[in-house]
């Protein structure tokens, strides 16, 4: 069935709103990336997007570019259901009602059950026309990690490792790196796409990593992801890069609690995505606790017989992989997949 002419028009303008939202990807945490387009008589009057937390939302960013007379009788296209509660900024529903806009079209609904559908009810009560679900899947995909946290309370967890063909992650003799420079550059892009990077205390004591983004071009205002250290009881050296470099204020240390509790705490702080980079014991705990949502494994064409297995030396919970892709990266193979947890008769929890 062919779409209605008005649906075709709605989709065309919503795609422009998606393009606006894409301009802020990675820069709005703990808020979602949202775009807006205001249209009147088929002509685009203004565009806007949410630049960063604490700044105006997309709807307000677009409305501020118009006079009240211009917005009167217009339609606004927004990628996400307008907010209806007072946070750092006033609710967008109130601004839309006061603006003179007569129709609101949005793509995805708010995943938080406390707010889902509330904007529609408020706007309709004030006699604004509301159309929901235009390009909903594309709009929801903009904030997949944020949506996951809003529903589960947990960040989206990506397990990343660079390993030899026999599954070892300790550096081979006379070499610093296992994987190729091309793989390491891809890993930097992966870092840039998350809000936090987590490693175990042993990795900090052994490797003294900086966990920064290097060697790739990013906007100047792209934030450094939080650096998170999970340690059972050991101390972190005071001279560690994570505690002394220019990003030291973006370092969080958790000691003596389970990995699950660490991730729950990060979710409470508004962090929606976490890249677990190691070491083997930490990655093993993540799989044992059934905490991983996605993997990115870089496998180098070398058999080295190292001492450190990628998932530690204890049993882990079984899992199946969906949406598996294999890609050649330099001389290595990158395996990407979503993790599907298998229900077990007895639940497992990670130990501190």
**Does residue 59 have an active-site annotation?**
yes
Is the pLDDT assigned to residue 229 strictly greater than 60? yes
- Could you count the other beta carbons within 10 Å of the beta carbon of residue 146? 24
Residue 78: which of 90, 88, 63 has the closest Cα?
63
Q: What is the pLDDT of residues 340-349, one digit of tens each?
A: 876 654 444 4
3-state secondary structure of 31: coil
- Which DSSP symbol is given to 279? -
pLDDT of residue 5: 53
- From 59, 186, 290, 294, the catalytic residue: 59
Lowest mean pLDDT among 13-22, 85-94, 243-252: 85-94
Q: Across 30-44, 83-97, 162-176, which has the greatest mean pLDDT?
A: 30-44
d(CA 161, CA 306): 15
* Average pLDDT over every residue of 101-129: 94
If pLDDT is split at 50, 70 and 90, which confidence band does 333 have?
very high
- CA dist 231 and 227 (Å) reads 13
Mean pLDDT score, 76-99? 91
Look at 81-90, 221-230, 285-294 and tell me which has the smallest mean pLDDT: 81-90
Segment among 12-16, 168-172, 270-274 with least mean pLDDT: 168-172
What the block records as the tokens of 261 is 């509790």
Angle between helix axes 92-99 and 118-125 (nearest 10 degrees) is 30
Residue 348 has what pLDDT?
A: 41
Cα four-point dihedral sign 263, 265, 271, 277:
negative
Higher pLDDT, residue 317 or 281: 281
What's the rounded mean pLDDT across residues 224-248?
Answer: 94
The CA distances from residue 301 to 180, 181, 206, 298, 332, in Å, are 10, 14, 24, 10, 6
Round to whole Å and give the CA distance between 191 and 226: 10
Q: What is the model's pLDDT at position 1?
A: 47
3-state secondary structure of 109: coil
Question: What was the pLDDT predicted at 350?
Answer: 42
Placement of tokens 């059972």 in the chain: 232
Contact (Cβ atoms closer than 8 angstroms) between residue 165 and residue 190: no
Q: What integer pLDDT is reported at residue 349 of this predicted model?
A: 42
Q: How remote is the C-alpha of 152 from its chain's centroid?
A: 14
Reported as a pLDDT band with limits 50, 70 and 90, residue 21 is very high
Coil, helix or strand for 173? coil
Cα–Cα dist 13/23, whole Å: 16
Q: What is the pLDDT of residue 173?
A: 67
Task: State percent of the chain over pLDDT 70.
Answer: 95
What pLDDT is stored for residue 343 in this prediction?
Answer: 62
- Which of 339, 341, 330, 351 is closest to 162 using CA atoms? 330
Residue 77 reports pLDDT greater than 60? yes
**Burial class of residue 121 (count of CB atoms within 10 Å of its CB; 0-12, 13-18, 19+):** exposed
- What average pLDDT score do residues 168-177 get? 78
Q: At what angle do helices 259-268 and 280-288 cross, to 10 degrees?
A: 80
Terminal Cα distance for the chain, rounded: 56
| pTM of structure | 0.88
pLDDT at 88 exceeding the cut of 80: no
């Amino acid at each position: 069935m062919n779409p209605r002419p008005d649906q075709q028009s709605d989709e065309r303008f919503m795609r422009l709103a998606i393009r606006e939202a894409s301009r802020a990807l990675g820069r709005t945490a703990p808020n979602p990336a949202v775009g807006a387009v205001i249209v009147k008589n088929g002509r685009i009057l203004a565009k806007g997007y949410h630049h960063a937390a604490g700044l105006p939302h997309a709807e307000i960013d677009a409305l501020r570019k118009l006079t009240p007379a211009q917005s009167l009788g217009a339609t606004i296209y927004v990628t996400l259901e307008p907010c209806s509660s007072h946070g750092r900024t006033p609710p967008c529903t109130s601004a839309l009602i006061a603006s003179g806009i007569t129709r609101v079209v949005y793509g995805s609904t708010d995943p938080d059950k406390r707010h889902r559908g509330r904007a529609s009810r408020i706007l309709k009560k004030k006699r604004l026309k509301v159309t929901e679900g235009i390009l909903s899947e594309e709009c929801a995909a903009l904030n997949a990690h944020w949506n996951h946290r809003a529903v589960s309370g947990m960040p989206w967890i990506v397990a990343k490792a660079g390993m030899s063909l026999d599954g070892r992650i300790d550096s081979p003799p006379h070499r610093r790196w296992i994987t190729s420079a091309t793989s390491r550059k891809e890993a930097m892009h992966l870092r840039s796409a998350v809000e936090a990077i987590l490693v175990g205390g042993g990795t900090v004591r052994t490797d003294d990593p900086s966990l920064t983004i290097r060697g790739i071009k990013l906007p100047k205002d792209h934030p450094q992801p939080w650096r998170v250290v999970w340690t059972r009881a050991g101390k972190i050296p005071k001279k560690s890069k994570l505690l002394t470099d220019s990003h030291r204020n973006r370092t969080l240390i958790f000691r003596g609690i389970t990995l699950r509790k660490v991730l729950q705490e990060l979710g409470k702080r508004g962090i929606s995505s976490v890249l677990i980079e190691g070491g083997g014991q930490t990655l093993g705990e993540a799989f044992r606790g059934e905490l991983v949502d996605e993997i990115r494994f870089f496998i180098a064409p070398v058999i080295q017989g190292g001492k450190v297995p990628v998932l530690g030396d204890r049993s882990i919970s079984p899992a199946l992989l969906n949406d598996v892709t294999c890609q050649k990266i330099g001389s290595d193979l990158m395996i990407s997949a979503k993790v599907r947890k298998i229900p077990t008769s007895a639940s497992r929890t990670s130990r501190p």
